[in-house]
């Protein structure tokens, strides 16, 4: 199956010489480039409307203040609460770059969404972002009455690096005896730093996220003395039984496709209720590409419907 036609113009732009690759220059330069590509060119008219948005400060690891943003749906009564971790290879991204992704989740799932601006590498390498993510979920659980209001429907979600963090937090919460999670949404997650996968070669060039980007991200996030098979780095290597139900979504033209598919299969084999979606014509990052790609928008709606089913 070829790349969906709606993404061809976007890929032509991404692959043009004037657009810097994700892992280009210093982290500071790459963050500015990523923000320019995601935030600065955004048409506000395309943003999904929600009932209310509030910027807050979240307690990260050891009480470190983190930027956060709360999205509220136009729904009466208690709702689920979703704690969302943005993508960007643990080096890029923030609550602004992933604003519309959170809006989609808020509206389509009918949930309060808490977006977390965890600390980034290389200033805060592994396990810093994972520690922040766990602390943020505990922060949300302690304030659930003022968020969605339903303590039985707390979920985690994330895309790419954020999908890794959501999967890691789900395992951490199980092992620590809470907070109890009702579901996890893993969007094209970075599930395994220790394995070799065909998709990393097949999709290494030309589809937004590249193989060289992955090397650049890994170099900044993973300390040299870290074990790549550590489950808090590679959740696929962890114990998977007893985890909350999961929605796992992958894209056909994504270097992370095979690891994400492997994680969905492993969850299912461990007895975890898992709804797996592979969107063969799409690329990494499609959850934020709805404004330029009807196929991506349809995929987002499908994913949100699956998460809504788990949280019903």
CA–CA dist 72, 284 (Å, integer): 27
How many residues are listed for the chain in this entry? 312
The angle formed by the CA atoms of residues 311, 156 and 268, to the nearest 5 degrees, is 70
CA–CA dist 210, 64 (Å, integer): 32
* 160 given a catalytic annotation: yes
CA–CA dist 139, 63 (Å, integer): 10
Instruction: Determine how β-strand 52-59 pairs with β-strand 79-85.
Output: unpaired
Q: Name the catalytic one among 124, 160, 199, 296.
A: 160
CA–CA dist 248, 211 (Å, integer): 22
CA–CA dist 286, 312 (Å, integer): 25
**What's the order of all strands across the beta sheet hosting 183-187?**
52-59, 65-72, 112-116, 79-85, 149-159, 183-187, 246-253, 274-283
Known catalytic residues are 160
């Amino acid at each position: 199956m070829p790349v969906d036609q709606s993404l061809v113009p976007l890929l032509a732009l991404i692959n043009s010489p004037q657009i810097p690759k994700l892992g280009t220059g210093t982290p500071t330069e790459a963050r500015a480039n990523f923000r320019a590509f995601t935030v600065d060119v955004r048409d506000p008219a395309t943003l999904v409307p929600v009932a209310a948005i509030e910027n807050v400060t979240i307690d990260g690891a050891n009480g470190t203040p983190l930027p956060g943003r709360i999205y509220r749906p136009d729904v009466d009564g208690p709702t689920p609460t979703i704690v969302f971790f943005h993508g960007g290879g643990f080096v890029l991204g923030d609550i602004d770059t992933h604003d519309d992704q959170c809006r989609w989740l808020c509206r389509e799932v009918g949930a309060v969404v808490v977006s977390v601006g965890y600390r980034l590498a290389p200033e805060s390498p592994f396990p810093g972002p994972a520690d922040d993510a766990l602390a943020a979920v505990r922060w949300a659980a302690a304030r659930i009455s003022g968020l969605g209001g339903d303590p039985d429907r707390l979920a985690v979600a994330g895309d790419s690096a954020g999908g890794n963090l959501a999967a890691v937090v789900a395992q951490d919460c199980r092992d620590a005896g809470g907070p109890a999670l009702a579901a996890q949404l893993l969007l094209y997650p970075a599930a395994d730093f220790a394995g070799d996968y065909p998709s990393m070669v097949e999709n290494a060039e030309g589809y937004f996220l590249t193989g060289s980007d992955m090397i650049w991200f890994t170099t900044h996030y993973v300390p040299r003395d870290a074990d790549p098979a550590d489950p808090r780095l590679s959740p696929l290597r962890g114990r998977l039984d007893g985890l909350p139900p999961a929605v796992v979504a992958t894209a056909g033209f994504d270097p992370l496709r095979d690891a994400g598919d492997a994680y969905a299969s492993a969850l299912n084999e461990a007895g975890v209720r898992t709804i797996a979606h592979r969107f063969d014509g799409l690329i990494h990052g499609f959850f934020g590409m709805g404004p330029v790609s009807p196929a991506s928008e349809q995929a987002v709606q499908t994913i949100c419907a699956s998460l809504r089913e788990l949280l019903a």
